[in-house]
Amino acid sequence: MTMSLGRRAVGVPPARPITAGREAGEMVAEGVCAWFGKRLVLEDVTLTMARNEVTALIGPSGCGKSTFLRILNRMHETIDGAQLAGTVSLNGTDIYGLEQRAVEVRRHIGMVFQRPNPFPAMTIAQNVLSGLRFNRLRVANPDEVVEEALVKAGLWNEVRNRLKALGGDLSGGQQQRLCIARALALRPSVLLMDEPCSALDPTSTRRIEQTIGDISHEVTVVIVTHNMQQAQRVSDRCAFFLAGEDEPGRVVEEGPTEQMFGNPDDPRTRDYVNGQFG
Amino acid sequence: MTTTSVNSTPGQHRFHLGQGPAHRRMRPREFGPTDIVLAGLTLLAAICTAWIVFDQLTLLSGMLGFVVVTAAVFLLYYYVLNRQLLGRRAASDRLMGAVATLAMAAIMTPLVLMVGFLFERGAHLLSWHVLTTTQQGVPLVCVPHQHCAQAGVFHAIVGTAEQVGFAMLLGVPAGILTAVYLNEVGGRLAHWVRVIVTAMSGLPAIVAGIFIYSIWVLKFHFSGFAGSLALAILLLPTVTRGTEEVLKIVPGDLREASAALGAPQWRTVWSVVLPTARSGILTAVMLGIAVTIGETAPLLFTVFGSTTTNWNLFGGPQASLPFLIWEMVKLASKSTIDLAYTAALVLFLLVFVVFLSGRILGSPWLGSAVRSLANRRSARRRVALEEVADR
Ligand SMILES: Nc1ncnc2c1ncn2[C@@H]1O[C@H](COP(=O)(O)OP(=O)(O)OP(=O)(O)O)[C@@H](O)[C@H]1O
Ligand SMILES: [Mg+2]
ipTM of the complex, rounded to two decimals: 0.85
The nearest CA of chain B is from the CA of A182 a distance in Å of 8
pLDDT category of residue A15 using cuts at 50, 70 and 90? very low
Note the pLDDT of residue A12: 37
Q: Is residue B24 part of a domain?
A: no
**Is B9 among the domain residues?**
no
Q: Would an 8 Å CB–CB cutoff place A31 in contact with chain B?
A: no
B205 and B338 assigned to the same domain = yes
Mean pLDDT, to the nearest integer, of B27-46? Answer: 87
Residue B370: is its pLDDT beyond 70? no
Q: Is A242 in the pocket of ligand 1 (CB under 6 A)?
A: no
Does residue B19 form part of some domain? no
Beta bridge partners of A243: A249
* Between residues B80 and B365, the one the model is more confident about: B80
In a domain, B20, yes or no: no
Is the same domain home to B212 and B74? no
User: Per the domain annotation, does B66 fall within a domain?
Assistant: yes
| pLDDT(B4) > 60 | no
Look up the CATH number of the domain holding residue B314.
1.10.3720.10
* pLDDT confidence of residue A3: 40
Which residues of chain A have a CB within 8 Å of the CB of B275?
A: 119, 121-122
Within this chain, do residues B238 and B349 fall inside the same structural domain, yes or no? yes
> What pLDDT, in 10s, does the model give residues B351-363?
999 888 888 877 7
Residue A278 has pLDDT above 80, yes or no: no
Residues of B with CB under 8 A from a CB of A: 251, 253-254, 256-264, 267-268, 271-272, 275-276, 278, 368, 371-372, 379, 382, 385-386
Domain extent for B158: 154-363
Quickly state the pLDDT bin for B306 (edges 50, 70, 90).
Answer: confident
Provide the pLDDT for residue B7: 45
Instruction: Tell me the pLDDT of chain A averaged across its residues.
Output: 87
Of B259, B368, B382, the CB nearest to A106: B259
Domain co-membership, B187 together with B48: no
Closest Cα in chain A, distance from residue B54 (Å): 56
Does residue B46 sit in the same domain as residue B159? no
The torsion angles phi and psi of A40, rounded to 5 degrees, stand at: -80, 120
Set of chain A residues whose Cβ sits within 8 Å of the Cβ of B264: 103, 134
Q: Tell me, what amino acid is at B205?
A: A
Do B216 and B343 reside in the same domain of the chain? yes
Domain tally for chain B?
Answer: 2
Could you say which ligand is closest to the alpha carbon of residue A38?
1
Task: Say if residue B180 is in the same domain as residue B111.
Answer: no
Same domain, B212 and B68: no
Tens digits of residue pLDDT in A33-45:
999 999 999 999 9
Q: Name, in order, each residue with C-beta under 8 angstroms of B19's C-beta and a sequence gap of 6 or more.
A: none
**Domains of chain A, first to last:** 22-273 (3.40.50.300)
Q: Which residues contact A222 (CB under 8 A, 6 or more apart)?
A: A27, A49, A54, A55, A57, A69, A72, A190, A191, A192, A193
Kindly state whether residue B18 falls inside one of the protein's structural domains: no
For the Cβ of A79 lying below 6 angstroms from any atom of ligand 1, the answer is yes
Strand partners, A123: A166
Q: What is the pLDDT of residues A249-260, one digit of tens each?
A: 999 999 999 999
Q: How far is CA A44 from CA A13, A190, B84, in A?
A: 20, 22, 72
B49 and B187 fall within a common domain: no
User: Are both B183 and B276 inside the same structural domain?
Assistant: yes
Tell me whether residues A134 and B263 touch, CB distance under 8 A: yes
Instruction: Specify the ligand 1 atom closest to the Cα of A226.
Output: 25
B118, B138, B173 - which closes a domain: B118
Q: Specify whether B86 is located in the same domain as B225.
A: no
**The domain boundary residue, chosen from B118, B141, B176:** B118
Residues B57 and B162 in one domain: no
Under an 8 A CB cutoff, do A140 and B368 touch? no
CA separation (Å) from B98 to A165, B30, B42, B260? 38, 14, 12, 50
Does the pLDDT value for residue A13 go beyond 50? no
Nearest beta carbon to residue A135 from set B253, B256, B262: B262
State the pLDDT confidence band at B152, using cuts at 50, 70 and 90: confident
Query: Do the chains contact at B262 and A134, CB–CB below 8 Å?
Result: yes
- What residues in B contact A73, CB-CB < 8 Å? 260
